[in-house]
Chain A
Amino acid sequence: MLTAHRLFCARDDRVLFKNLNLELSEGQIMQLRGSNGSGKTTLMRILCGLNDSYEGSIKWYGQEIADQAVNFFSSLLYIGHRVGVSKVLSPVENLRWSCSLKQRVDDEAIYRALAEVGLRGFEESPCYTLSAGQHQRVSLARLIISPARLWVLDEPFTTLDAKGVAQLENLLQRQAQAGGAVLVTTHHRLNIPELTVLSLG
């Protein structure tokens, strides 16, 4: 569904990658590997359309993403280093906003998702009282709610505990089985059988 062809990206003279080809199809989970500074995050942001300093073409179902931004953005869910959780708001308030940017959502679904990621009892407390791992979990609740076909996750495992890691792996597999695709960076060894690995650098 997502194909990138002959990508080239340089940042201030340093070539991050050149002639990079990538194909992500339905039901696929792809892990990006590479040392620090090899351009994993940059590649992800380029593929999401957040960063446009690249050359080459990126297609979503055979059509350039730039030509169908609305279509592409509504099928995409991206969670970056900064997970997009405001410290001032509570988990529920955060999700109400970030989900409603893409789809209609009712409070019931939000509460259910929060319970699933282990945040029962924290729904209404402001996020600055929560830990970094719990922030990550708030953002993972979006994965449960979202109908997006493509997930792009940048280091989603870093702050999670063992239980959280297992749960996220489970979520990824569920997404793949449902015909979605996942692009993920992590230094963890993922416990997922059908995993494609792309190494950078």
Chain B
Amino acid sequence: MWLWFSKLGSPKWFYELSGRWLPWLTAAMIIFMTIGLVWGLLFLPPDYQQGFTSRILIVHVAVAGTSLAFFPLMFVAGTITLVWKMKLADMVAKNAAILGAWFSFVTLATGSLWGSVMWGTWWEWTDSRLVSMLFQLFLLIGVISLRSALEDSETAAKACALLSIVGCINVVIIKYSVEWWNTLHQASSPISTDSSSPNGPEFWIATLIMIVAVYLFLSVSLILATRNEILERERRSQWVRDLVLKS
């Protein structure tokens, strides 16, 4: 068990393993993405309430659902960095923060494009999901800027790990308090939550396919970025030199 764990932490081992996985993951991503997009755009019948705007939701829900994975991911990576001093976890965490910020931003952008049709407004403070996603974005930006501010890479790794752990706990508290805050203001809100989810099994199947596709995209992109990070940080080691010579 311990051996396996330390092996998992070895960047070289990860680089080789991920190199073997990457083609399969990419292929699966392309397949799911194509099915999801073609079905979503061409075949999905218009929702009886929302018409063709339900096509927005397919993408939005997939991205939003996936971006919920980032704080747990960074929590785990941060714990591993602090407890076992595993460098690989930090390399993943660094890129997860950046990718997570992208995800949060796209969630907000697509959400407000959908909201502008359904609610007639681009931004709605009474939607707790949008508000807590906004603060998730802020927290991720905080982690990213802390890393860029700290020069020593080891200090940066540990500091960001700690901040991610604190941030995760906070995201949960923020989420619940914003929800609470919202229920009290809901009276004055133009939104009724019931209308926000279209019915129909086709919609959910299409969304599910997109969620799988986006998760696959997340792993492919994260692996690509992590591999770059490995190459940069391990540039002095023999195996990276051999690899560069071969390519």
Could you tell me which A residues sit within 8 Å of B by CB distance? 11-13, 53
Contact = CB atoms under 8 A, between A and B. Distances in A.
A13 B236 contact: yes
Report, as a range, how many residues of chain B touch the other chain: under 10
A11 B154 CA distance: 8
A38 to B, nearest CB: 18
Nearest to B233: A13
A4 B247 CA distance: 43
A12 B87 CA distance: 13
Contacts of A11: 152, 154
Contacts of A13: 236
Contacts of B152: 11-12
Nearest to B235: A13
B153 interface: yes
Interface in B148-187: 152-154
Main secondary structure of the interface of A (DSSP, over half): loop
Interface of B: 152-154, 236
Nearest to A53: B154
A12 B154 CA distance: 8
A49 B152 CA distance: 18
6 cross-chain pairs, A with B, having the tightest CB-CB distances, nearest first: A53-B154, A13-B236, A12-B153, A12-B152, A11-B152, A11-B154
A173 B50 CA distance: 87
A13 B236 CA distance: 8
A52 to B, nearest CB: 8
A53 B159 CA distance: 13
B134 to A, nearest CB: 36
Nearest to B236: A13
Nearest to B157: A53
6 contacts: A11-B152, A11-B154, A12-B152, A12-B153, A13-B236, A53-B154
A13 to B, nearest CB: 6
Contacts of B153: 12
A28 B236 CA distance: 39
A53 B236 CA distance: 19
A13 B232 CA distance: 11
A13 B152 CA distance: 11
A66 to B, nearest CB: 13
Nearest to A52: B85
Nearest to A14: B236
Nearest to B154: A53
A13 B235 CA distance: 9
B232 to A, nearest CB: 11
Contacts of B154: 11, 53
B222 to A, nearest CB: 24
A142 B220 CA distance: 58
Nearest to B153: A12
A184 B153 CA distance: 28
A139 B153 CA distance: 32
A11 B152 CA distance: 8
Contacts of A53: 154
Nearest to B152: A12
A11 B153 CA distance: 9
Nearest to B155: A53
A14 to B, nearest CB: 10
A53 B152 CA distance: 11
A191 B153 CA distance: 41
A53 B82 CA distance: 12
A53 to B, nearest CB: 5
A53 B155 CA distance: 9
A11 B236 CA distance: 13
Contacts of A12: 152-153
A53 B156 CA distance: 12
A114 to B, nearest CB: 36
B154 to A, nearest CB: 5
A151 B236 CA distance: 37
Nearest to A15: B236
A53 B158 CA distance: 11
Contacts of B236: 13
A13 B153 CA distance: 10
A183 to B, nearest CB: 24
